[in-house]
């Protein structure tokens, strides 16, 4: 083997590239031809088998016709337990056997809550006490589990809204801000001498509220209409009245945001800290781990858990309520409605399991 | 007649103007939700999952249904359907199932209350094929669909919504409150009527409350269930429907096509009176089918014989029928025409893969280069004239348009089909494009045939080698695109060469047998597709001359021939003119009419020699060839 001469290096490199190019010239056309032959064989097979199978084998009705939910059961949630989704009934318009009332898009999934994304708890987690389970689940779309279930020695609780899409802390939902605008002193002023800035602000809040409520058509239309008329017109004044009357109908927990415990630094506490590995361990062993081991593991997974969760009346009451609704951005009218003595009375009935007749109150501003 | 139609359209238009305001209306005249149920039931999260059954109990009810008067039940209180004694206390008592035939309470804005019940409708079922007894005994593959004691109405009905005919006139969605305002001048106080609600109600009933797709889905709950169909000795009627012309249009989102009820419900009656096909009163009884097909909404101008067409034709279950035989013949033809062509291409690629090279004759190569050096030589070696290239590009564009607008119908159950149709703006637009592309293609085809005839006549009149005119038959048979016995022989030689059974690769004249075969395929295909397409398009007129079965056969011929054309062009022709290594990225012949010399010498040496002969140029035979 001859010694490597530095002066020959360019020649060696040139020789190497020439050789490589010569090989490539031979290989590339062959590879191209092979790929083409494969594609043609594949397409031919597909075409011929389509013809033959289509003639010989009855295929039944296609999925568009038959694959509709027959029953609303938990499997509808279980596309991916780590990202619980709401039932998208709009994609499955034929629902009579599953649910008589058309429900459209159902509950909004919370991709931020560690309780559900862990795959441990469903988006409708309460199912034990008949008297309260459905009511508690009703709150689950606007309040994070930790609000009632995590320890906190502060009164009122230190809470924050968090965005369901990003998990970031945010201000009050747009619909609350819009209603605040319509029930504030500013509203009376605007009714007498409205201005464009107010109109723009209201339109923008209504549009945002519609988006946050899963593009709710009623709010979208209201926003369009508010935007379409002149701020100084009588129509605008009429619309203000209408908006003020109709907005409370949409206080249904569809805010694109939830209330959660406010942690250090202002971020929402959406899961128990440093428990990922324990959660993974639990998920992998949940069918086998029993007894004290199970209890111990669950205790370690839930270090912030309250001994007993908050009771409804601890928040829904005027005196010393644990949620300061006004601070959370609820307009006074709405905040007062939520802590109305009738509500407290109602909750007490529910807790005691004593039947009572539904009072005609807070739903719509009378 | 025409003015009547216009008046009706105008009236409908005016009504629709009002209708379209439903999304944004003044507060309804009567109270929403008098029992205040939506205070809780308006929350989407109100519900639970049963631990034992894993069934979701969703108690949510869309509040906008009653607030915005979205359906005929919007003015009802919850307790009109649910027993007040069960739901007026919280927590509610165990709720029994709703009896749809129960009397409910309608309160009008004029203060007059009326009682209403669906009992007469339910009673109609007793005389129909869907008796309550039959429905009660349904046994589904996946277990019962309804709970015991749940109303059988729920097999077909969910919460009724006003389905406004906006698909007919979508531009009306922009109309505002003014329509209702005009009505309310009188109807708000003087003659109080809930205008918005009543108009919605009436206009929504101008068309079925469900789209054809939803109706098919509803019927499929039973008629596509294997256990139900087996027990009642029925075929999967919905499966065969969605393979029909109507069914495919339904899958593609068409609202104006025939659905199950269009044929199975007699004019003037309703779905609750539907009868089995063996009942002489049924709209689909053999003697009545013609009338059903020829209703004013469907095919009024058709001949009664049109009704002999099989609407529920599902080929795999139609053994022994002429339609099945025709489909089998087409599949046979497809395999035995496309197959050899595909094999030829694959074997050709195999030569490259194994590195087998064919060295064309140096003599022909030199001759070709010599010819290309002169203007006359280049002219003589041009394989495609301007007119032919122009026709080819027209054909290409129209072919693509026809495939894009026609194939979604063939593959209507695929997701891409709906996407494609929506890209064209709906099935009606796609269909119009398909029809007009077909017409243009047929015009182009007629022009080509005219050229062929003129060329044949010229050849027939021109003096032959013996000085006498050739005659029309001889001239026609001498057209260059016919496949001659020599072409067959050379094709066999080519196969032998590609299979390593013969050393020399045969060479051809101006057009290779494969090109001639493709040309004749296009010729035959255009005729067949054009004729069957026109027949299907003008089905009402054509039905006076042909039986209904002809339309089934025409559909099969049209769809299978189109499939053959697509796979031939999409796989083989595209390979030959774009992806083949010798022409990639595009054969210049499609633009300039010239074939690259390398390909010319290798595959069309006889064409080169003919051109040289005409120019009086000859080279000595190549001893190495």
Q: What pLDDT does A69 receive?
A: 54
- Does B64 sit within 8 Å of A36, measured CB to CB? no
Confidence of residue B125 (pLDDT cuts 50, 70, 90): very high
Query: Which whole number is the average pLDDT over B387-414?
Result: 95
Q: What pLDDT does B329 receive?
A: 96
Confirm or reject contact between A126 and chain B (CB < 8 A): yes
Q: Which residues contact A121 (CB under 8 A, 6 or more apart)?
A: A115, A145
> Is the pLDDT assigned to residue B328 strictly greater than 70?
yes
Confidence of residue B490 (pLDDT cuts 50, 70, 90): very high
Q: Which residues contact B242 (CB under 8 A, 6 or more apart)?
A: A61, A62, A65, B216, B248, B250, B251, B412, B413
- The torsion angles phi and psi of B405, rounded to 5 degrees, stand at -95, -15
Query: Which whole number is the average pLDDT over B80-106?
Result: 85
Q: What pLDDT does B20 receive?
A: 35
Confirm or reject contact between A56 and chain B (CB < 8 A): yes
- Does A127 sit within 8 Å of B349, measured CB to CB? no
> Is the pLDDT assigned to residue B537 strictly greater than 90?
yes
In order, the DSSP letters of A40-79 are HHHHHHHHHHHHHHHHHS---S-HHHH-S-SS-BGGGTTT
Domain regions of chain A by residue span: 77-169+255-310, 174-247
| CB A306 within 8 Å of CB A150 | yes
Q: Which residues are A261's β-sheet partners?
A: A159
Of the listed ranges A14-18, A40-44, B220-224, B346-350, the one predicted with least confidence: A14-18
Contacts B324 to A, Cβ<8 Å:
55
> Is the pLDDT assigned to residue B439 strictly greater than 90?
yes
> Is the pLDDT assigned to residue B423 strictly greater than 80?
yes
Which residues between 298 and 327 in chain A have a beta carbon less than 8 angstroms from any beta carbon of chain B? none
Query: Which whole number is the average pLDDT over B247-273?
Result: 91
- Report the chain A residue with the minimal C-alpha distance to residue B572: A40
Confidence of residue B22 (pLDDT cuts 50, 70, 90): very low
- Does A93 sit within 8 Å of B56, measured CB to CB? no
Q: What pLDDT does B341 receive?
A: 93
Q: What pLDDT does B147 receive?
A: 78
Of the listed ranges B211-220, B332-341, B395-404, the one predicted with least confidence: B211-220
**CA-wise closest residue to B241 among B408, B413, B430:** B413
Query: Which whole number is the average pLDDT over B364-369?
Result: 88
Query: Which whole number is the average pLDDT over B470-474?
Result: 86
**CA-wise closest residue to B25 among A225, A210, A230:** A225
B interface mutation test: which of A30, A34, A35, A36 has the most B CBs within 10 A?
A: A36
Q: What pLDDT does A76 receive?
A: 59
- Report the chain B residue with the minimal C-alpha distance to residue A43: B571
Q: How far apart are CA B214 and CA B209, in angstroms?
A: 9
- Tokens coding A302: 């839930």
> Is the pLDDT assigned to residue B173 strictly greater than 50?
yes
- The structure tokens 């500013």 sit at A186
Of B51, B213, B217, the CB nearest to A127: B51
Mean pLDDT of chain B: 86
Tell me which of A199 and B147 has the higher pLDDT. Answer: A199
Give the torsion sign (CA, B552, B554, B559, B561): positive
**CA-wise closest residue to B188 among B27, B53, B416:** B27
Confirm or reject contact between B259 and chain A (CB < 8 A): no
Interface pTM, i.e. ipTM: 0.81
Three-class SS string for A129-165?
CCCCHHHHHHHCCCECHHHHHECCCCCCCCEEEEECC
Q: What pLDDT does A213 receive?
A: 86
Burial state string for B512-534 with b = 16 or more CB within 10 A and e = fewer than 16: bbbbbbbeebbeebbebbbebbb
- Report the chain A residue with the minimal C-alpha distance to residue B331: A51
| Intervals of chain A under pLDDT 50 | 1-2, 79, 81-83, 85-97, 361-366
Contacts A246 to B, Cβ<8 Å:
67
- Report the chain A residue with the minimal C-alpha distance to residue B145: A97
Query: Which whole number is the average pLDDT over B394-408?
Result: 96
- Report the chain A residue with the minimal C-alpha distance to residue B355: A30
- Does B88 sit within 8 Å of A134, measured CB to CB? no
- Does B331 sit within 8 Å of A55, measured CB to CB? yes
- Report the chain A residue with the minimal C-alpha distance to residue B159: A101
Q: What pLDDT does A98 receive?
A: 60
Residue B575 is classified by DSSP as: I
Of the listed ranges A188-192, B258-262, B518-522, the one predicted with least confidence: A188-192
Confirm or reject contact between B37 and chain A (CB < 8 A): yes
- Does A93 sit within 8 Å of B220, measured CB to CB? no
- Does B44 sit within 8 Å of A141, measured CB to CB? yes
3-class secondary structure, B93: coil
Of A57, A65, A141, the CB nearest to B220: A65
Which residues between 281 and 340 in chain B have a beta carbon less than 8 angstroms from any beta carbon of chain A? 314-317, 324, 327-328, 331, 334-335, 338-339
Of the listed ranges A190-194, B10-14, B131-135, B321-325, the one predicted with least confidence: B10-14
Q: How far apart are CA B19 and CA B12, in angstroms?
A: 10
Q: What pLDDT does B12 receive?
A: 44
């Amino acid at each position: 083997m001859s010694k490597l001469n530095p002066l020959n290096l360019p020649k060696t490199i040139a020789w190497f590239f020439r050789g490589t190019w010569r090989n490539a010239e031979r290989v590339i056309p062959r590879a191209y031809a092979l790929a083409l032959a494969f594609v043609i064989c594949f397409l031919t097979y597909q075409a011929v088998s389509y013809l033959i199978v289509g003639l010989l084998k009855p295929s039944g009705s296609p999925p568009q016709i038959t694959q509709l939910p027959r029953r609303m059961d938990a499997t509808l949630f279980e596309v991916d337990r780590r990202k619980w989704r709401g039932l998208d009934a709009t994609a499955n318009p034929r629902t009579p056997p599953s649910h008589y009332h058309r429900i459209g898009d159902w509950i909004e999934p919370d991709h931020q809550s560690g309780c559900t994304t862990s795959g441990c708890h469903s988006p409708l987690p309460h199912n034990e006490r008949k008297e309260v389970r459905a009511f508690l689940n009703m709150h689950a779309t606007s309040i994070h589990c930790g609000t009632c279930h995590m320890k906190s020695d502060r009164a009122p609780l230190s809470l924050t809204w968090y965005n369901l899409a990003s998990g970031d802390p945010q201000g009050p939902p747009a619909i609350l801000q819009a209603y605040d605008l319509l029930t504030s002193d500013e509203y009376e002023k605007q009714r007498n001498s409205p201005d464009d800035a107010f109109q723009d602000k209201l339109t923008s809040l209504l549009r945002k509220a519609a988006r946050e409520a899963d593009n709710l058509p009623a709010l979208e239309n209201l926003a369009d209409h508010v935007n379409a008329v002149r701020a100084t017109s009588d129509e605008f004044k009429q619309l203000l009245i209408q908006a003020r009357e109709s907005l409370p109908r949409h206080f249904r927990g569809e805010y694109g945001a939830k209330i959660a415990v406010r942690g250090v630094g202002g971020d929402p506490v959406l899961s128990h800290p440093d428990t990922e590995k324990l959660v993974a361990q639990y998920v992998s062993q949940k069918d086998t781990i029993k007894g004290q081991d199970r209890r111990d593991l669950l205790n370690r997974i839930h270090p912030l858990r309250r001994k007993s969760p908050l009771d409804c009346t601890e928040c829904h009451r005027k005196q010393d309520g644990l949620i300061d609704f006004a601070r959370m951005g609820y307009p006074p009218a709405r905040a007062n409605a939520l802590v109305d003595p009738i509500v407290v009375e109602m909750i007490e009935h529910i807790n005691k399991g004593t039947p009572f007749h539904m009072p005609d109150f807070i739903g719509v501003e009378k | 007649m025409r003015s009547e139609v216009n008046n009706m359209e105008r009236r409908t238009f005016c009504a629709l103007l009002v209708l379209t305001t439903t999304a944004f209306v003044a507060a309804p005249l009567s109270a929403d939700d008098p029992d205040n149920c939506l205070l809780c039931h308006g929350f989407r999260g109100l519900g639970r999952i049963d631990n034992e059954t894993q069934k979701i109990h969703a108690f949510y009810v869309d509040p906008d249904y009653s607030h915005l008067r979205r359906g005929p039940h919007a003015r009802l209180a919850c307790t009109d359907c649910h027993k007040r004694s069960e739901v007026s206390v919280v927590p509610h008592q165990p709720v029994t199932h709703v009896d749809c035939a129960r009397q409910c309470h309608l309160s009008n804005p004029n203060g007059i209350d009326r009682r209403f019940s669906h009992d007469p409708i339910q009673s109609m079922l007793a005389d129909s094929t869907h008796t309550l007894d039959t429905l009660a005994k349904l046994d589904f593959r996946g277990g019962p669909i309804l709970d015991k004691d749940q109303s059988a109405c729920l097999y077909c009905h969910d919460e009724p919504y006003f389905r406004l005919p906006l698909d007919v006139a979508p531009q009306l969605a922009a109309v505002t409150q003014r329509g209702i305002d005009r009505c309310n001048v009188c109807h708000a106080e003087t003659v109080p009527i809930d205008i918005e609600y009543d108009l919605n109600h009436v206009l929504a009933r101008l068309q079925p409350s469900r789209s054809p797709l939803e109706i098919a889905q509803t019927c499929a709950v039973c008629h596509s269930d294997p256990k139900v169909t087996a027990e009642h000795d029925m075929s999967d009627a919905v499966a065969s429907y969605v393979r029909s012309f109507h069914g495919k249009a339904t899958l593609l989102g068409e609202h104006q096509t025939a659905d199950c009820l269009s044929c199975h419900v007699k004019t003037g009656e309703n779905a609750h009176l539907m009868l089995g096909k063996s009942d002489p009163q049924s709209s689909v009884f053999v003697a009545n089918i013609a009338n059903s097909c020829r209703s004013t909404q469907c095919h009024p101008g058709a001949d009664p014989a049109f009704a002999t067409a099989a609407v529920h034709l599902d080929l795999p279950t139609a053994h022994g029928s002429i339609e099945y035989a025709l489909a089998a013949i087409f599949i046979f033809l497809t395999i035995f025409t496309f197959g050899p062509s595909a094999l030829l291409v694959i074997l050709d690629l195999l030569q490259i893969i194994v590195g087998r090279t064919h060295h064309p004759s140096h003599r022909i190569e030199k001759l070709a280069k010599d010819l290309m050096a002169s203007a006359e030589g280049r002219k003589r070696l041009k394989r495609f004239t301007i007119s032919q290239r122009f026709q080819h590009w027209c054909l290409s564009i129209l072919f693509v348009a026809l495939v894009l607008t026609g194939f979604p119908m063939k593959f209507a159950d695929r997701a891409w089909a709906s996407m494609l149709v929506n890209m064209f703006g709906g099935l009606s637009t796609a269909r119009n494009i398909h029809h007009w592309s077909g017409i243009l293609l047929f015009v182009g085809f007629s022009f080509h045939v005219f050229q062929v005839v003129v060329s044949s006549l010229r050849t027939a009149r021109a003096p032959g080698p013996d000085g006498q005119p050739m005659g029309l038959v001889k001239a026609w048979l001498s057209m260059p695109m016919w496949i001659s016995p020599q072409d067959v022989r050379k094709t066999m030689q080519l196969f032998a060469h590609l299979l390593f059974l013969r050393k020399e690769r045969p060479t051809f004249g101006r057009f290779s047998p494969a090109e001639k075969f493709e040309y004749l395929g296009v010729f035959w295909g255009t005729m067949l597709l054009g004729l069957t397409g026109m027949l299907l398009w003008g089905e009402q007129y054509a039905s006076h001359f042909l039986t209904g079965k002809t339309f089934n056969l025409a559909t099969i011929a049209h769809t299978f021939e189109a499939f053959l054309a697509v796979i031939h062009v999409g796989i083989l022709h595209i390979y030959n003119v774009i992806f083949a290594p010798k022409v990639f990225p595009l054969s210049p012949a499609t633009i300039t009419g010239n074939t690259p010399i390398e390909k010319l010498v290798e595959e069309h040496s006889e064409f080169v020699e003919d051109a040289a002969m005409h120019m009086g140029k000859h080279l000595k035979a190549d001893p190495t060839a």
